[in-house]
Amino acid sequence: MSDDNMIHIKGRFLELFSELDEVEIDYIDKWISSHSYKKDLQNKSALNSSEKCLIKIANTIKKLVPFEAELPSENIVPPTIGNLADCTKESTCHIDEFLYDHNTVEDLTQQGKIKRHYCVDCNSRNIKELTLISHSLSRQTLLYIFKFLLPKDLENKQFLDLGSRLGAVIYGAYYLSNATNIVGVEINKECCDLQDTIVGQYSMDNDRIKIINADILDRSDIVQNSDIIVINCLDHFVNVDIHREIWYFLKKHLKKGSYVITVRSIADTLIALDMFEELSNWLSISKPNQMENEMFFDMEDCNEIYLYTVN
């Protein structure tokens, strides 16, 4: 490492320190002189390297699916109720967050490959911003789930993703946790084939990760045996009646003490489905289990992810 380089690094640190007050400087000083930053650094490096596996998988999937990441056999319909009801075909653009992270989306926008606005009446400057939606969880969200929300040790636990689609969540469980059984239940056969291809190509352990092509409503056995279940928004994939049925079914079959992770609050979902009263005492909001990793996450990016336990 050259002297110039070291001077540059010092400059960057000083730039950062110059924004701190005395108490904050004191805190950082103790953190560095106690050497406890070394452990944090190790954790950060471990996070970065597990993220690399997910980046590789995302790059493989990009070659297997269209740019919009919607498969020909998928029937994705804008929701008619709840806070996603303003997501019409005209006002939204689907960018899969697992495949394209924030920086990549910015680059693609600069290159003109992603359009961010639409015209509300043609040829005018009266334009509106498109709402970007994703049907997969992003890498950052997966890290947040496995390295902040859930307990660190998931040995002997069964992890279930309800509607595993491209498989983002189950690959996250595989590389970011020690869950003993990882199950993705997905109703769409083409999505299951894609997930099987990835599991095979990356030589994942078939005893540990399983993709089941089924309607979740027919697999109460899997739900009953699961300790953790992730439910990303189903609104674009099921009609209101089936959506309600799925929540009644989960209430009936999920065991006490199991974790439920939802994207957006369960209250918002149940209120939109007009079933909040009946299910309001079913779940309790749960505290994150790995608070020590809080520093690695921007809480604003993850404020739509909720962790509950079944009462």
Ligand X SMILES: C[S@@+](CC[C@H](N)C(=O)[O-])C[C@H]1O[C@@H](n2cnc3c(N)ncnc32)[C@H](O)[C@@H]1O
Q: Give the footprint of ligand X on this chain (CB under 6 A).
A: 135-137, 161, 163-165, 168-169, 185-188, 191, 215-217, 232-234, 237-238
| 43 Cβ contact list (under 8 Å, min separation 6) | 293, 296
CA atoms within 13 A on the CB side of 12: 5
**253 exposure class (CB count in 10 Å sphere: 0-12, 13-18, 19+):** middle
What's the min distance (Å) between Cβ of 30 and ligand X? 40
Shortest Cβ 131–ligand X spacing (Å) = 15
Q: Name the minimum Å distance from CB 286 to ligand X.
A: 19
Closest residue to ligand X in the complex (CB) = 163
Minimum gap (Å) between residue 16 Cβ and ligand X: 35
Shortest reach from residue 198's CB to ligand X, in Å: 13
Closer CB to ligand X, 183 or 185, in the complex = 185
Q: How far apart are CA 21 and CA 17, in angstroms?
A: 8
Bridge-partner residues for 260, per DSSP? 229, 308
If the CB atoms of residues 222 and 279 are measured against ligand X, the closer one turns out to be 222
Query: Judging by DSSP bridges, how do beta strands 131-133 and 92-94 pair with one another?
Result: parallel
CB of 109 vs ligand X, minimal distance in Å: 22
Tokens of 71: 């498969």
Nearer to ligand X by Cβ, of 119 and 268: the residue is 268
In the bound state with ligand X, the residue whose beta carbon lies nearer, of 44 and 253, is: 253
Q: Which is nearer to ligand X, 186 or 227 (CB)?
A: 186
The encoded tokens of residue 256 equal 């006490």
Closer Cβ to ligand X, 24 or 218, answer by number: 218
